[in-house]
Structure 1
Amino acid sequence: MSATTHASANRDVVVHSLTDYASLAVVGGEHSVVIDEPREFEGGGTAPNPFGLVLSALGGCMAGTLRGVARQQGFDYDRAVIRLSLRINRPTSGPLDPGERELRISRIIAEVTVHGDLTPEQQEALRHGVETCPVGNTLRRALTLQESIVFEAAA
């Protein structure tokens, strides 16, 4: 492991395919999340799709970072609402569309509303927190996706 790469406890995810386009993600060995495609894309519509989970991860990170910044600096606020939407680089008709393999999120729009009586300094601290949450940092910057695939014959 290099000096600039750090492993994080309880953050590894193992995903198991289920039926059709559904899958089960086990996060940190202790939490489970079902992932599915919407019905209009031939999925069962039983759970969020992968893009919805990306947005959820970003929103959760922003919410946690806001609370952490406030606690670190000794103030509080009532609540925060983070509304996230995305734009994609091309239209798609679902997983069987050959163009799906080039599909990617091209823009994420985050609208953050913080409720509470805050000074201008506190507002600026929270603004900086939203702009520097770790998931947002990851999405804003290039990252390396290292993939490997192994095929095993059926037993």
Structure 2
Amino acid sequence: MASNQITAITELDKSHYKTKVYAGGHFIYADEPEEIGGTDEGMPPGALLLASLGSCTAITIRMYADRKNYNLDAIKIELAICKEEEMNKETRITRKIEFSGNLTEDERQRLLVIADKCPIHKILSNPIKIETS
């Protein structure tokens, strides 16, 4: 991940919950499912959070594996976040990582350690203070 500050802009007009998200010259939609009033034209915000953790984890693992010349063909990461009503004391995210390739058990274990070094994992594992103006 680059050392520049990460920024994003979100915009929501009268389109119910379909939100425009801009970051680094890229554009996506976030939305909610139809059953709660959205148009289901984009991922819900919680899924975007999980996608950030999953993609950052995969990229961090890939960078390390390439640098160490590991025979890693592919990485699959399954993520889930606890239900909102369970977040009163902590928010629990589960992450299951699968590797494809001719890896030793030591290499697999090392990659699991490296997974926790991704910047988004570090952000989510520390107290977060949100300042609103």
Which TM-score band (shorter chain)?
Answer: 0.7 to 0.9
* Residue 109 of structure 2: aligned partner: 124
Q: Which amino acid aligns with 1:133?
A: C
Unpaired segments ≥5 residues, structure 2: none
CA offsets, 1:122-149, max 9 Å, x none?
A: 222211111221111111111221111x
Q: Which amino acid aligns with 1:27?
A: A
Give me the whole-angstrom Cα distance separating, in 1, the residues matched to 2:132 and 2:53: 23
- Stretch moving more, 71-80 or 32-41: 71-80
Q: Are residue 24 (structure 1) and residue 15 (structure 2) matched? A: no
Shift of residue 103 of structure 1?
8.4
Unpaired segments ≥5 residues, structure 1: 1-6, 92-101, 149-155
Shift of residue 58 of structure 1?
0.5
Q: Are residue 73 (structure 1) and residue 68 (structure 2) matched? A: yes
- Number of residue pairs matched? 131
* Residue 120 of structure 2: aligned partner: 135
* Residue 144 of structure 1: aligned partner: 129
Give me the CA root mean square deviation: 2.3
Equivalent pair of 1:16/1:25 in contact (CA under 8 Å) = yes
Give me the whole-angstrom Cα distance separating, in 1, the residues matched to 2:79 and 2:95: 5
| 1:1-155 map, 5 Å | 8-9=3-4, 11-18=6-13, 19-28=15-24, 30-90=25-85, 106-148=91-133
Gap change, CA 1:34 and 1:105, over 3 Å in 2: farther
Gap change, CA 1:45 and 1:109, over 3 Å in 2: same
Shift of residue 117 of structure 1?
1.2
- Stretch moving more, 104-113 or 114-123: 104-113
Shift of residue 8 of structure 1?
4.3
Give me the whole-angstrom Cα distance separating, in 2, the residues matched to 1:104 and 1:88: 12
Of structures 1 and 2, the larger Rg is shown by: 1
Q: Which amino acid aligns with 2:43?
A: P
Percent of pairs identical after alignment? 25
Give me the whole-angstrom Cα distance separating, in 1, the residues matched to 2:105 and 2:39: 47
